[in-house]
């Protein structure tokens, strides 16, 4: 989770828009996209000719001139084994203090990678006079990273979340198909990323969907792709992902819907939680739905309703009150344990 505004605001992103950092227009477009989080990329999306000073100059200019609103702003430098990594990090940390919130660490294989980055951030924050700590999201995109995911997630207090990177993971594994049936083909790796993140109280972000709707695409083709985006993200949400990368704003609206409970779900969940406490807890049947509920399922509804709070659809004070009632009896505050508050 991203803790912003001096601890007053919590963001668990539903949509993280990634785009090349070498083009100022891309930053301006991203600042208007319907997403929770933007990520400017020095790494895979940046052409070779712009690596180094050219992309750094544009990145620093964008951070100092573009208004990204309430979006979480992060940067993906080239990976730590690249000759460009240190220069990328120095450029943004020294050139735009207090202008962004996080670093996305690519090709993160071991906890030592996070520790190395965190120590560099310590030094650069002191040098540039940062007023808050920059947080870290680590990409889980190699077999070794999947094996080490929990160690990576707990390697630094700066850690905010884990992101599953399907393209590099598929390449390393020799899997050719990384678009269709991906929640089945990559089920183990995706859920391993989720389990590690949630065990550490972090958020988990699913990979990007790698098909874009062309401007000249027939409506039948566009409708098919939109349905595939929905299917992929609905399935990822059911694996426990909190959100997803998107590679174009056209993907954002569908993705936001998939990671946000709708009005009917919110109303039903609220009614169940209130009825449960009115009945004094224990094992109950909720009369309007006929569903069985006990303390365990109520915790699940509290987590669902936390997503409604994030989306501005529910009063956070109401949720805190209901969570406190459960915690007073069970001794287990699910929202605090899972980093939802």
Per-residue pLDDT, averaged over 33-42, amounts to 97
Note the pLDDT tens digit of each residue in 250-260. 999 999 999 99
SS (H, E, C) the chain: CEEEHHHCEEECCCEEEEEECCCHHHHHHHCCCCCCEEEEECCCCCCHHHCCHHHHHHHHHHHHHCCCCCCEEEEECCCCCCCCHHHHHHHHHHHCCCCCCEEEECCCCCHHHHHHHHHHHHHHHHHHCCCCCCEEEEEECCHHHHHCHHHHHCCCCCEEEEEECHHHHHHHHCCCCCCCCHHHHCHHHHHHHHHHHHHCCCEEEECCCCCCCCCCCCHHHHHHHHHHHHHHHHHHHHCCCCEEEECCHHHHHHHHHHCCCCHHHHHHHHHHHHHHHHCCCCCEEECCCCEEECHHHHHHHHHHHHHHHHCCCCCHHHHHHHHHHHHHHHCCCHHHHCCCC
Q: Is residue 231 over pLDDT 80?
A: yes
What pLDDT is recorded for position 207? 96
Please give the pLDDT value at position 278: 93
Average pLDDT over residues 292-319: 92
Superfamily of domain 2-258: Phosphoenolpyruvate-binding domains (3.20.20.60)
Name the residue ranges covered by the structural domains of the chain. 2-258, 263-337
Is the pLDDT confidence value at 226 over 90? yes
Mean pLDDT of the chain: 95
pTM value?
0.93
In this prediction, residue 291 carries a pLDDT of: 94
Q: pLDDT by residue (tens digit) across 41-77?
A: 999 999 999 999 999 999 999 999 999 999 999 999 9
> Does residue 294 carry a pLDDT above 80?
yes
> What's the pLDDT band for 329 if we cut at 50, 70, 90?
confident
The predicted pLDDT at position 310 comes to 86
| Predicted pLDDT of residue 176 | 85
């Amino acid at each position: 989770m991203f803790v912003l505004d001096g601890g007053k605001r919590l963001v668990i992103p539903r949509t993280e828009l990634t785009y090349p950092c070498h083009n100022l227009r891309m930053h301006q477009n991203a600042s208007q996209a319907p997403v929770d989080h933007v990520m400017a990329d020095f790494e895979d999306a940046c052409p070779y000719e712009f690596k180094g000073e050219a992309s750094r100059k544009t990145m620093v200019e964008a951070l100092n001139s573009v208004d990204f609103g309430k979006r979480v702003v992060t940067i993906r430098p080239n990976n730590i084994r690249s000759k460009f990594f240190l220069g990328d990090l120095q450029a943004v940390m020294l050139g735009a203090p207090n202008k962004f919130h996080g670093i996305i660490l690519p090709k993160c294989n071991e906890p030592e990678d996070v520790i190395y980055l965190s120590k560099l951030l310590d030094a650069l924050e002191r040098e540039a006079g940062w007023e808050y700590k920059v947080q870290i999201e680590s990409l889980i995109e190699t077999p070794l990273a999947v094996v080490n995911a929990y160690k990576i997630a707990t390697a630094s207090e700066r850690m905010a979340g884990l992101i599953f990177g399907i393209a590099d993971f598929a390449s390393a594994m020799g899997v050719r198909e990384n678009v269709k049936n991906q929640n089945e083909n990559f089920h183990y790796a995706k859920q391993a990323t989720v389990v590690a993140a949630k065990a550490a109280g972090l958020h988990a972000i699913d990979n990007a969907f790698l098909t874009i709707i062309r401007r000249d695409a027939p409506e039948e083709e566009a409708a098919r792709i939109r349905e595939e985006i929905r299917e992929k993200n609905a399935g990822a949400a059911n694996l426990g992902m909190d959100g997803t990368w998107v590679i174009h704003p056209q993907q954002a609206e569908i993705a936001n819907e998939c990671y946000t409970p709708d009005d009917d779900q919110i109303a039903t969940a609220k009614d169940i939680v209130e009825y449960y406490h009115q009945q004094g807890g224990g094992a109950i049947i909720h009369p309007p739905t006929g569903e069985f509920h006990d303390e365990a399922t109520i915790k699940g509804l509290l987590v669902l309703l936390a997503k409604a709070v994030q989306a501005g659809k529910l009063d956070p004070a109401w949720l805190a009150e209901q969570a406190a009632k459960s915690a007073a009896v069970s001794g287990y505050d699910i929202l605090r344990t899972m980093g939802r508050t």
